[in-house]
Amino acid sequence: MSLQYFAGAACRTLTARKDGPSLYEVCDPILRQPGSGGDPHLSKFYRTALGNPALRTLLRRAGLPELNDPARLNALRQALVLARDNPTPDWESVGGPIAELVDGITLQHPAPPRRTGAVAMPPAAEIDRVIRACGADLLGSYGRNGFIPTYAAFNLIGDPDIRGREVLMALQGLDARGYKNSTLMFNLARVFIARSPAAAVINPPWRGIAEPMWEPVQIRHRSAYYDAFFTEALLSYLETGLASSEQTGAARAAIAAMVDFCLETSREEVRGADGKSYHVVTALAPPPHPRFSRFFTQIKQDLGFGVYVPDCDTTACSFSAATQAGSNDPILDQPLVDFYAGYQVRAGGNEPRVTVPINDNIDYEGGVATWIDSMAGERPYGNDLDPTLNLDVLEVSFRNLTRWQILETEARLAFIRRIVGFQQRLVLSGAFADPRAHIYYLPELYCAYFGRCYHAFMALPQAARQAIDPGGAFELIRLRVLAYVEDELVGREMNPFDAALALIALGHLGGNEASFAPAVHCIVTAFGEGGRRHPYRAYEWNKMKTPTRILVGGPEVTSAFVLMGLALARRCR
């Protein structure tokens, strides 16, 4: 959006007619200062996240007319008092008035228009030029920073899939008190935002599906999950043969350092359901390794995001990247599938493991939950179950099939088959294309990551593929996902990030040759949109739906996806 758009939207916000109490008229009498006893963090969170001068100015004329009713206003305030003063409140009672307000807002997922007109495949020289630029962007960023950063950004309007029902699920299923507080207050604030002209400032329209990230409010940080992804991107760059000899040496050094960050710096010991000790990979290594600025380190603590635990996705992607890079670290010899089996959902058995079932429109049977209990028993996010994560579990298992003796061990093979069954039901039901089915990712990213998983599966010997998938589930999923990408993703207007995801899926799944051209054309045409520092802008790579919509991505992330997508398109020409 242009400066003219934001200036107009801000002017309309600041001059809007106010009808009903504002967020601050509701909350200031209760939360400007801590209450007596109870939980002091709620007031601290309010002052830090919602009571800052910039947001106060933007929302000062955002009122809710239904709160002119004294009974409704009093019920809302009493809920906040209960959350402030009770160390262990009834979260259904606390969240009820907020959930009712959340159900009064209307948010929608992006619905890009159908693409019109045919486009030609750009020349091979243009494709190679963009690949080289993206490779140089990654290596240049690593050289400047000593790592390749990724960024987080808050979108306070929240996620369309989080309605009142899901707010109550989160309040009751999350574990850490600070995370409950932030979920409560962010969801109250999003009502005032979504129902006022402020929505146009905080959530402007965009082209395509993946949401662009607004640069001024991005929080730079480092995680093993990101280093694993960038490792795969640099390996892809080396495979193209387009890297110079100097870049090749720099890429190999960066890959070795990032694998070390994943397997050593971010390593954490946990206890499996079988009672054995395992080494997994934590979502955020201890300070100073995440590389937050001092300012944001304090803000993170004030917002209640102080405890991080390992997760199954970061562990799987780290092990996979290290395997692809040729690492022989002994941590890779662990039969990770034995540990994951303790987090696999079995109907009627361990279903309560999923405490935040905000995507309960899908059948969890056979899926692996996200968050790993720390050795101290910490589980700040409760637990949830994401389909894309389960593709990563399959992919790393295929790459380590022999090392972990999966085919030779009946229980391990049964574990893998149950995840395959989970994915087959998801895709055949059509739910894979519904954003509500996903916790942390877009359906389009699910398609790209299925392509990545399918590629690893097809690299196995025929006998191994038959043992894992005797019913042909992978071929059924491939056809459904490919049809969705060719019709819904490539068939509509895209931004460069969407186009890169499409190419990854098309390249791995054997897409129609004509389907590549629109995506490649989109990427080549948008080259340079990142300004002087990067080839492309930052877009939504993954997200947290609670406590609000927190996007994760970065211009380097876009470069990495574009590089991998074009490398596949180049190979398929």
Average pLDDT over residues 477-493: 97
**How far is it, in rounded angstroms, from Cα 359 to Cα 163?**
12
Residue 147 has pLDDT above 90, yes or no: yes
* Sheet arrangement for strand 219-221: 219-221, 150-155, 549-553, 542-544
Contact by Cβ (8 Å): 247, 136: yes
Residue length of the chain: 573
**How far is it, in rounded angstroms, from Cα 435 to Cα 237?**
31
Give the pLDDT confidence score for residue 40 in this predicted structure: 86
Residue 295 has pLDDT above 60, yes or no: no
**How far is it, in rounded angstroms, from Cα 65 to Cα 258?**
53
Segment among 36-50, 71-85, 249-263, 310-324 with least mean pLDDT = 36-50
Give the pLDDT confidence score for residue 299 in this predicted structure: 60
Segment among 289-293, 420-424, 430-434, 511-515 with least mean pLDDT = 289-293
Segment among 161-175, 344-358, 494-508, 521-535 with least mean pLDDT = 344-358
Phi, psi (rounded to 5 degrees) for 221 = -165, 175
**How far is it, in rounded angstroms, from Cα 549 to Cα 543?**
7
Instruction: Give residue 236's identity as a one-letter amino acid code.
Output: S
Contact by Cβ (8 Å): 30, 78: no
∠ CA 213-214-217 to the nearest 5 degrees?
110
Phi, psi (rounded to 5 degrees) for 58 = -70, -35
User: Dihedral through CA 433, CA 436, CA 442, CA 444, nearest 10?
Assistant: 0
Give the pLDDT confidence score for residue 384 in this predicted structure: 96
Q: Residue 135, by phi and psi: left (phi above 0), alpha (psi -120 to 50) or beta?
A: alpha
| 3-class state of residue 292 by DSSP | coil
Residue 215 has pLDDT above 80, yes or no: no
**How far is it, in rounded angstroms, from Cα 573 to Cα 570?**
5
Contact by Cβ (8 Å): 148, 230: yes
**How far is it, in rounded angstroms, from Cα 222 to Cα 200?**
31
Give the pLDDT confidence score for residue 291 in this predicted structure: 74
Contact by Cβ (8 Å): 167, 187: yes
Nearest to 499 by CA among 115, 230, 65, 25: 115
Phi, psi (rounded to 5 degrees) for 201 = -85, -45
DSSP 473: H
Question: Is the link from the previous residue into 21 a cis peptide, with omega within 30 of 0?
Answer: no
**pLDDT > 90: percent of the chain:** 82
Q: Give 4-60 pLDDT, tens digit per residue.
A: 888 888 888 888 899 999 999 999 999 988 777 778 889 999 998 898 898 999 999
| 3-class state of residue 311 by DSSP | strand
Residue 171 has pLDDT above 90, yes or no: yes
Segment among 174-178, 296-300, 531-535, 550-554 with least mean pLDDT = 296-300
Give the pLDDT confidence score for residue 492 in this predicted structure: 96
Residue 415 CB: number of other CB atoms within 10 A?
20
Of the pLDDT bands very low, low, confident and very high (cuts 50, 70, 90), residue 128 is very high
Instruction: Give residue 187's identity as a one-letter amino acid code.
Output: N
Q: Give 340-374 pLDDT, tens digit per residue.
A: 999 999 976 656 789 999 999 999 999 999 999 98
Give the pLDDT confidence score for residue 103 in this predicted structure: 97
| 3-class state of residue 134 by DSSP | helix
Helix locations, 441-512, DSSP H: 443-458, 462-468, 473-484, 496-509
Give the pLDDT confidence score for residue 350 in this predicted structure: 56
DSSP states of 502-552:
HHHHHHHHT--HHHHHHHHHHHHHHTTTTTTT-SS--B-SEEE-SSSEEEE
Residue 366 CB: number of other CB atoms within 10 A?
22
∠ CA 407-344-161 to the nearest 5 degrees?
130
- Using CA atoms, how far residue 80 sits from 168, 305, 434, in Å, is 15, 21, 34
**How far is it, in rounded angstroms, from Cα 496 to Cα 123?**
17
Give the pLDDT confidence score for residue 294 in this predicted structure: 65
Dihedral sign for Cα 130, 135, 139, 145, please.
Answer: positive
Give the pLDDT confidence score for residue 271 in this predicted structure: 95
Instruction: Give residue 243's identity as a one-letter amino acid code.
Output: A
∠ CA 222-223-229 to the nearest 5 degrees?
105
Average pLDDT over residues 233-252: 98
